[in-house]
Amino acid sequence: MNERDWRIFNEEFSINYRGGGKIVPHAIRYWKECQLQEPILQSIQELGYITPTPIQRASIPISLEKLDVVGVAETGSGKTLAYLLPILQYLSQIDSNYMQFERIKNQPLALILAPTRELALQITAQAEKLCTRLGYNVVSIIGGHQYQSTIEEIDNGRAGTKGGVDIVVATPGRLLDSIDRKIINLQKCYNLVMDEADRMIDMGFERDLHRLIAYLPTQDDLRCTIDGKIFHLTQRITSMFTATISPPIEKLTKSYLTDPVFVTISGAGEALDNIDQKFEYLPTSKMQIGPEVIKQIKSDNLLRVIKAHKRNNPKALIIIFANFKHVVDTLSEDLDAKQFPNVIIHGSKTQAQRELALEQFKLHDPSILIATDVAARGIDIPQVSLVVNFQMPNKFDEYIHRIGRTGRAGQFGTSVSFIDDGDVATFSELKKFLTKGGKKVPDWLYRYNSATIRE
C-alpha cells in the first residue's frame, strides 16, 4: 500500500501516532504480517484470535522492532495481547545456550506490572494460555498469595519444563517485598511492561515504580557485558499502556522510555459507543426523605432492573457496584432473600475468596457479582451484559471504569446508574462526558442549575 492507503487504513481503525526517534513501522492488517515466529502464530490461531484489534495492529509492529511504545487505549481493547506477543517473540530470540544452560531460576526475562491483583490474575491467565503452548513459564507475584508458594512455583515451573520463571506478572508493592526477600531478581529483565499505568499513579504507586525500575539492568549492562549478545539488544525494551496521558505519565515516559512512539486509539477516554448508558435519577433535595428511605427506593429499583434484564436473558451476567463494603454485604443479603444468588468482592475478602468468587461468576454460578471498586478494573469477562451503579462513585474516572466491565470484545452492553442530588460532584463531568461522546444528556442533568455545577 502507498502512504495514502496507510492514512486511510489508520483513519478506519482510529489509529494515531506521535513521537518516536525512528521511522515508525506500519500497522498490520493480518496476523501473518507481524513477522512472529510460526509457533506463536499457530498459538494465536488455536486460541481463536481471528483478526488484530486496533491497538494490536498499531503497537505490535513497533514492539517487534524493539522500540519503546506508549499505548493509549481503554481496557477491553486487546492491549494485553498487544504486549504479550512481542514478549514471546523476544523470548524466542534469546541465545539458546543461555536459555538451556545458564539461566538462574529466579531471574525473569520479562516483567509486566499491573495496579491490582485482579488485573494481574487476568493477565497471567491469558499469558498462561500462550506460554503453555510455547514452553515458557509465567508466575504472578501478588498480595494474598503465600511467599512459599511463589518460591515453589518459580523453582518447579510447569510440568514438562526445567522450572524457573520467564515472565513475571506483579503488583508493585508485592514485587518490591519479593525482591527484598531475595525471592526474585531483576538483573536479567530487559523487557518491561507497565499496564494501566494511569491507574498505578492514581493508586499512589509512582514511588514504587521508580524503586522497581532502579532494580532493572541498564544500557551500560548491555554494552559492558555479554548481555547485549545474549539478548540481542542495545537498550531495554519498555512499554506502557494507559487510558489517559496525565503529567505524571508524561514524566514517567521521559524518565524511563527512550524516544517512545505514542499510539492512541481514538475514543480512549470518550463515551463508549457500545454501552447503552441509562440513569435513574432521584431528586432527593426536593423529596425531603431520609437516607434509609432513599436506600429502600434504590433497592426496589435494583430488583426491578435485575428482573427486567433476566426476563430477556435469564443467563445474563450482571455486576453491581457500590461504594462501601457494608452496602455490598447488605445488597447481597437482600438479593439472596429475593432468590437472586450472588457472589461478592470487596476489600475485606481474602485473595482466595476473591478468586473463587470470580471463577464462580465466570461459570454463571451464580450470575450476579456485587463489588466495590476493587473489582472495577482487571475484570475481563466478555459476557457481562449489565452493570449497575447502585451508588455513583466519588471519582468520575471510576464511573468510566465500572461501566467498562460491559460492552467488551466488540459486544454491546447496558449500564444503569442510580443517581441523586448527593452525587452533584459528578454531574458536571458526566454531562461533559455524555455530550462529548454524542450521547443523550438526560433532562434532569440538562436542566440542573449550571450555577451549582462548576462547568
Q: Which of 134-143, 316-325, 433-442 has the lowest mean pLDDT?
A: 433-442
pLDDT for 452 equals 45
Q: Which of 144-148, 317-321, 336-340 has the lowest mean pLDDT?
A: 144-148
**Where do runs of H (alpha helix) occur along 338-426?**
351-362, 396-403
Is-contact 267 284, C-beta < 8 A?
A: no
Distance from the Cα of residue 207 to its chain's centroid? 21
Is 454 domain-assigned?
no
End residue of a domain, out of 216, 246, 266:
266
pLDDT for 270 equals 53
Question: Are 246 and 292 within one domain?
Answer: no
Question: Are 291 and 356 within one domain?
Answer: yes
Question: Are 156 and 176 within one domain?
Answer: yes
Question: Are 246 and 143 within one domain?
Answer: yes
Mean pLDDT across 110-121: 95
Question: Are 288 and 252 within one domain?
Answer: no
The number of beta carbons lying within 10 Å of the beta carbon of residue 14 is 15
pLDDT for 112 equals 99
DSSP letters spanning 86-129: HHHHHHHTS-HHIIIII--TT--SEEEE-SSHHHHHHHHHHHHH
Q: Which of 5-19, 100-114, 161-175 has the lowest mean pLDDT?
A: 5-19
End residue of a domain, out of 233, 266, 299:
266
Is 399 domain-assigned?
yes
pLDDT for 455 equals 37
Question: Are 258 and 295 within one domain?
Answer: no
Beta bridge partners of 194: 113, 240
Question: Are 246 and 284 within one domain?
Answer: no
User: 144 is written with which cell numbers?
Assistant: 494474598
Mean pLDDT across 108-113: 98
Is 176 domain-assigned?
yes
Q: Is the pLDDT of residue 424 over 70?
A: yes
pLDDT category of residue 10 using cuts at 50, 70 and 90:
confident
Q: Which of 230-239, 376-385, 427-436 has the lowest mean pLDDT?
A: 376-385
Q: Is the pLDDT of residue 454 over 50?
A: no
Mean pLDDT across 7-29: 86
Is 437 domain-assigned?
yes
- Grouping H, G, I as helix, E, B as strand and the rest as coil, residue 166 is coil
Mean pLDDT across 193-211: 93
Question: Are 250 and 280 within one domain?
Answer: no
pLDDT for 192 equals 98
What's 66's DSSP letter?
T
State how far the Cα of 73 lies from the Cα of 220, in Å rounded to an integer. 32
Give ∠ CA 305-413-335 in degrees, rounded to 5.
30
pLDDT category of residue 449 using cuts at 50, 70 and 90:
low
pLDDT category of residue 450 using cuts at 50, 70 and 90:
very low
Mean pLDDT across 400-420: 87
Domain that holds residue 123: 3-266
Is 452 domain-assigned?
no
Beta strand pairing call for 15-19 and 261-265: antiparallel
- Grouping H, G, I as helix, E, B as strand and the rest as coil, residue 191 is strand
Mean pLDDT across 197-223: 93
pTM of the model: 0.69
End residue of a domain, out of 223, 246, 266:
266
Find the CATH number of the domain harbouring 331: 3.40.50.300
Q: What is the pLDDT of residues 142-199, one digit of tens each?
A: 988 889 989 999 988 766 667 899 999 999 999 999 999 999 999 999 999 999 998 8
pLDDT category of residue 89 using cuts at 50, 70 and 90:
very high
Question: Are 176 and 310 within one domain?
Answer: no
Is 425 domain-assigned?
yes
Q: What is the pLDDT of residues 357-379, one digit of tens each?
A: 999 999 999 999 999 987 655 67
pLDDT for 53 equals 92
Q: Which of 10-14, 74-78, 401-405 has the lowest mean pLDDT?
A: 74-78
Question: Are 163 and 194 within one domain?
Answer: yes
- Mean pLDDT taken over the chain: 89
Question: Are 274 and 394 within one domain?
Answer: yes
165 versus 408: the higher-pLDDT residue is 165
Mean pLDDT across 408-434: 87
